[in-house]
Chains A and B, each alone.
Chain A
Amino acid sequence: MLPSSRIPVTGLGVIAPGATGVGPFLDQLRTGRSGISPVKKFEVMPERATTAGLLNSFNAREFIPVLKMRRMNTLSRLGVSAMKLALADAGLEAFDSHRGDTGVALGTTFGPVQTSVEYLNEYVAKGASLAPPQLFAESVANAPGSHIAIEYGLKGFNLTFTQREASVLTSLLFAASQMIKGTVTRSVCGGIEEMNDITFSVLDRIGALARPCDEREEKCRPFDLHRDGMVVGEGGAIFLLETEEERQERGGKAYGYIAGFGIARDATASLSDWGSDAQAVVTSMRTAVEDADLDLAEIDAIFASANGSIRGDRLEYRAIQSLFGHNLPPVTAVKGYFGEYAAAGGLQLAAALLALREQFIPGTPGFESGEPEMHFRPVTHSESRPLRNVLVNSLSAGGGVVSCVLSAAT
């Protein structure tokens, strides 16, 4: 018999800017405290972007023995540490392999860029034949997934998705679909992202990042009238998925259920832009709600993809207004807590799952007032609210859209 068509998320490992673990992350969301701060990790250009959501206090040594850590790059350390947190959160030390295979599907936007840079530094210093092989082996985007599989003996599929901002929702779609298909009985899913000076400076040079100006401080302002770009972030988020049967059998908790997905692509999008045809986002959201076998009226909140970019946010609020009309549920945009790309979309998903479990909606940091044609105000401060189902959007530059419906455990 195939497993049921809703997959529970039974464990959560979160490494966010300024918050390691579910408790501190939840506290951030509830109190509206952002993890974004001035960049000290690398030099930034004068009169350009100066802030990011960086992992200033995270220490992988708390999770991984030093000898093992030496064989891992930053992304792999993030992945393995978040995995350890997720298992502990689920009340497990490891998966019981006698119950069947476990798959791994991770997401990352840029992959281990810093490892590639370090490899090239050695290539320049020592020559093409003497650069360290260990660095090359770690320069592949799927190294973190591989380390997680080796550490915990996970022999199911092991894929790494790289669909920019939508990387984690894409990995979640794949992992959940494989569990429904019956290929594996559990999946490890999630995302990891690091920020270095090259990625930051390229994004800044092309004008993608928010900057300080005379009247206003530099800030991530999702949906706001004065938004002028995104603030980037790094982080790790791991989600454990088990079949409902297994969860019930071992008495595990469920943050919520993965209930449906929608995908689409905006054909008007250029390669570095989200596009301007709201229809693709409408299609993605509507399909996700239908896939979850729900009506639009049963969606109690939308966790928007909005990141403070002028065109991307406009596209999304137009699509939300077009699909929901006058029956719009509360909308929140949480990237002001940790920045865009943080855990490749994984922290946004973690926020939505925590909201479902705790029955509240976190506020949208950075929002004050919207454009005249925007007919709704996003939730600005955390508020308690009964949530049955929430819709999570990921809009990626290049035009790809993935939407996911999560349902409460009750």
Chain B
Amino acid sequence: MRSSDANTRLAVTGLGIVCSIGCNQKEVWESITHSRAGIARLGSRLAGERFPTDLAAEVQENLAPLLKASKRELRRLSRTDLLALIAAQEAIGQCAFEGELPARTIVSTGTSTGGLLEGENYYFDRLVRGGWRTPASHVLQQPTSAPSDVVARFHGLRGGVFSNATACASAGAAIGLAGDLIRMGVADVAVAGGSDALCRTTYSGFNVLQAVDEEPCTPFGANRRGITLGEGAAYIVIEKWEQAQDRGAKILAELCGYGATCDAYHPTAPAEDGRGASAAMQAALSDGRERPEVEYVNAHGTGTQLNDSAETRAIMTTLGNDVPTSSTKSFFGHTLGASGALEAVVTVLALQHQLAPPTLRLTEAAADCVLDYVPHTPRPMRIDHALSNTFGFGGSNVSLLFRAAR
């Protein structure tokens, strides 16, 4: 069986993103540079439901026109699929292969809900109409394998498909394992990312866990009370560095490696000392050719009491107290299974533009959150290496390490 070659350099040659602050990387980066959040009252998609909180980071745009697809193709897609296809379309467009992508192009997607929104509609329809009279065709896209399958199908990709549903760590894992598969020589190109649409179960579920802030989330803040739920999708295109150079592609950043660990502590709460998160960052730092200095951390930074304290401890243990760290969930909320991909794209943009995105609304940090969280406005600075953290239910931690393309 082939082994992964740590000396294989991985180039990021495409980015795609859709979330509440923009439907492509240009719009998203513009919102970030202008410190413009995308958090508003919950829209009409979940109208009629009575939740304890009413804020969300929803994608407000009509999605169908953003995708080059026929009405027939669009009809059976879940909202999570649609978000995935829009982000993947941008990423694949940017990587600019002449003609088709290579035969050994894989798709790797992380999602926590898949087509759960449509599954809920089916459930409610069954309650009214009965199980044998409810059309089943619109839940065909419910499995969490659907986003990878639709992306591969729309782009005719033949290398293989990978789907994981590892709660909020899903997309980080999807990107990490895609990099490994290229390093193993199993794939030549990977379209890797994540997608998750807002749905009743997650909106209600985080509320009943009392993990949602009534106000827009304030990661690391003294008065933080939880997350703001969001939705979105993002993909990156990864390939061997030499291949990207040979074909004259624009290299946006290098994926140096990743680390994946588990707290083995609690089904929903992180270990308070941040040991699993720290181990994931350490593993990411050791995964590449050399152990680098890190100049910026895109934190998981959810806005919950437990995560932000534990993550701060983990970063201090791993990197010390001086590395600028921010949570871009303050812009586009917690996009759950997709968050690792959205934040990977933002991290690559930060490396490209040499600008650390800020943590919005952070007027007063909590007593135990003692890092430099880049409050309010973006900060121009030299960033050679950046970590992007994503942690999930079940204590799963993933940390991705990127390097500026120089």
Contact = CB atoms under 8 A, between A and B. Distances in A.
Q: Do A and B bind each other?
A: yes
Interface of A: 2, 5-7, 45, 71, 101, 103-104, 109-111, 116-117, 119-120, 123-124, 127-133, 136-143, 145-147, 149-150, 152-164, 170, 174, 176-178, 180-181, 183, 197-198, 201-202, 205-206, 258-261, 263-267, 269-272, 280, 284, 291-292, 396, 398-402
Given A160-B164, A162-B163, 20 more contacts: A5-B1, A71-B267, A116-B119, A117-B123, A129-B51, A133-B205, A136-B206, A141-B166, A143-B267, A146-B262, A149-B262, A150-B264, A160-B166, A162-B145, A162-B164, A198-B122, A198-B126, A205-B136, A266-B158, A398-B145
A181 B180 contact: yes
A163 B163 contact: yes
26 contacts: A5-B1, A110-B142, A123-B201, A136-B205, A137-B209, A141-B112, A145-B166, A146-B394, A146-B396, A150-B266, A154-B264, A156-B261, A157-B261, A158-B260, A159-B260, A161-B163, A161-B165, A174-B177, A176-B1, A177-B4, A202-B136, A265-B160, A265-B161, A398-B146, A398-B148, A398-B153
Nearest to B1: A5
Given A183-B283, A258-B1, A265-B158, A111 B165 contact: yes
Nearest to B266: A150
B267 A401 contact: no
B264 A400 contact: no
A124 B112 CA distance: 22
Contacts of B260: 103, 156-159, 183
Contacts of A205: 132, 136
B262 A156 contact: yes
B251 interface: no
Interface string B169-181: 1000100010011
B35 interface: no
Contacts, number: 262
Contact of A269 (B1, B153, B164): B153
A138 B393 CA distance: 10
A394 B164 CA distance: 17
B394 A158 contact: yes
A7 B187 CA distance: 21
Contacts of A292: 1
Given A116-B116, A163-B161, A206-B136, A129 B264 contact: no
B50 A129 contact: yes
Interface residues of B, number: 83
B88 to A, nearest CB: 15
A50 B208 CA distance: 38
Q: Which of B140, B165, B208, B209 has the most CB of A within 10 A?
A: B208
Nearest to A259: B1
A162 B159 contact: no
4 tightest Cβ-Cβ pairs between the two chains A and B:
A146-B394, A136-B205, A263-B160, A398-B149
Given A137-B393, A158-B394, A162-B163, A116 B201 contact: yes
B139 A155 contact: no
A161 B393 CA distance: 15
Contacts of B186: 261, 263
Contacts of A71: 267
B267 A137 contact: yes
